[in-house]
Chain A
Amino acid sequence: MTKELNLDPRTKLIIVLCLSTLGIAIKDLVLLSIVFLLSFMVASLFKANLKRTVRKIKSLLYTLILIALVQSIFTRGESLISIGSITILTADGVEKALQFILRMAIVIFSATIIGTSSSRSIIQGLVQWRLPYDIAFMVALGIRFLPMIRDEIKDSLVAIQLRGIDIKNIPVKERISLYSYLFNPLLIGAILKAERLSIAMEMRGFRAYGNRTSFLVLKFNNWDYIVMFLSIVITFLFFIKGYI
């Protein structure tokens, strides 16, 4: 059984930064696969919700494949599939497509590591890194708003179906207007929520004083230093060895 790693959120941010940098900068497919495995293993060590992430990737699969195909079609190189004189797929194109899919997977899996810390501790981490509290709070709010918007889209789709409408089988014209219907209330709803939230924050004394104190103060332990050191050194090694 894996034991959950209890590290400072700032350490997790460094790990994610290193993994994402490697994922974006490396071009070699084998190295990219190694970084992907590393992201997967680190996320498992932190007990990130990998099942949910895999489900999310599944729902993005068609988009990823489409983008990968477009990339592979428009890349010149040794022809793999062609119709007459027109090259459809090249070896370089397939390589680029695989690179793209691996990169996306690295970014998504490494991002799950941050999700293992609470938003409050992430804000505190950013504040202790001297980021102004207002900005750190806005980042956390932004993170909080995204799943809310997703849930609202889901709710609206459920509400429409509960009125007896089969979304999949309505004429294209109506379907387009249906989606435009969904977008406007969503936007207005988000603005209204933001407005209510800002009023609630003001009522609770947000920014009433210049300096804020916090009950929660984060402290690095030895493991944090070791993990941060290793993450940064490994990333630099990739650069120095010329893999990037």
Chain B
Amino acid sequence: MHYIELKEIDFEYEKGNKVFENFSFSVDRYETVALMGPNGSGKTTLGKLMAGILKPNKGQVLIFNKDTNEIPLHEIGSRIGYLFQNPEKQFFANTVYDELGFVLKIKGYDEEYIKNKVGEMLELFQLKGLEKHLPYLLSQGEKQRLAIAAVLINEPEYLILDEPTTGLDKKRKDILFELLNMLKNRGIGMTIISHDNRFVERICNRRIYINRGEIQHDERA
């Protein structure tokens, strides 16, 4: 059984303009997959289909063997962490602290646990001192780090990261690499959508090149 499986799907944003046609693809639980391809090739759309954010017009997307049309998004979200291409899209809180801690609060964790966990993430992603800042007003690199931290604080079992290295300098890319590598070693699978070939080649053991909604190469290291 595959962890995420797309079975002969068709997808279009506008009628008559198909992004995917009869497209099949699957990833396994512990795989680290790189999704590469030119702009407009369908990488982000594929990521959103894999996370259940978009639903196919035809065919099935199965996540943990359940059709995404039948599983509520929060159930997927409790197991899969999704990083948006534009980090601003996933911010909803008024402060950096709340962006990280609010979800834990809703889930019923106590204040002490939340404080420690948030502190850990702030330290790890070098966001200390920005706790009371509005996420929208951070620099691009800080926004990206906060968005990744907000995904990881949930401790998902699988990650779908859309352009995680955008806006990060070399030092922070290295930190992110170390972190993702650590998660990989802990058994957390991931799909990374990226143009940063060097970054994904270091971390991923499967590389997929897509263009115009079709898989051109699927290589396993």
Q: Which residues of A contact B (CB under 8 A)?
A: 155-156, 158-167, 170, 174, 178, 181-182, 184-185, 188-189, 192
In the bound complex, do residue A162 and residue B82 qualify as a contact, i.e. CB atoms below 8 Å apart?
A: yes
A45 to B148, CA, bound (A): 49
Interface size on B, residues (CB 8 A): 34
Q: Which residues of B contact A (CB under 8 A)?
A: 51, 53, 72-82, 84, 88-94, 98, 102-103, 105-107, 134-137, 150-151, 154
Extra 17 A-B pairs, beta carbons < 8 Å, given A162-B76, A165-B74: A159-B84, A160-B103, A161-B73, A161-B77, A162-B80, A163-B103, A163-B150, A164-B103, A165-B106, A167-B74, A170-B106, A174-B106, A185-B92, A185-B93, A185-B135, A189-B88, A189-B136
- Report 10 cross-chain contacts, Cβ distance below 8 Å, ordered by A residue: A155-B89, A155-B90, A156-B91, A158-B53, A158-B73, A162-B81, A163-B154, A166-B75, A185-B92, A188-B136
* Chain B, residue nearest A163 (CB): B103
Q: Nearest Cβ distance between residue B108 and chain A, in whole angstroms?
A: 10
Contact status of A165 and B136, CB under 8 A, knowing A159-B91, A184-B94, A185-B92: no
- By a CB distance below 8 angstroms, the chain B residues around A184 are 94
In the bound complex, do residue B154 and residue A185 qualify as a contact, i.e. CB atoms below 8 Å apart?
A: no
A161 to B77, CA, bound (A): 6
The one of B90, B93, B107, B136 in contact with A164, judged by C-beta atoms closer than 8 angstroms, is: B107
In the bound complex, do residue B77 and residue A165 qualify as a contact, i.e. CB atoms below 8 Å apart?
A: yes
* Chain A, residue nearest B105 (CB): A174
Closest 10 CB pairs of A and B: A164-B78, A162-B77, A159-B90, A161-B73, A166-B74, A164-B77, A163-B103, A156-B92, A161-B74, A155-B89
A166 to B106, CA, bound (A): 10
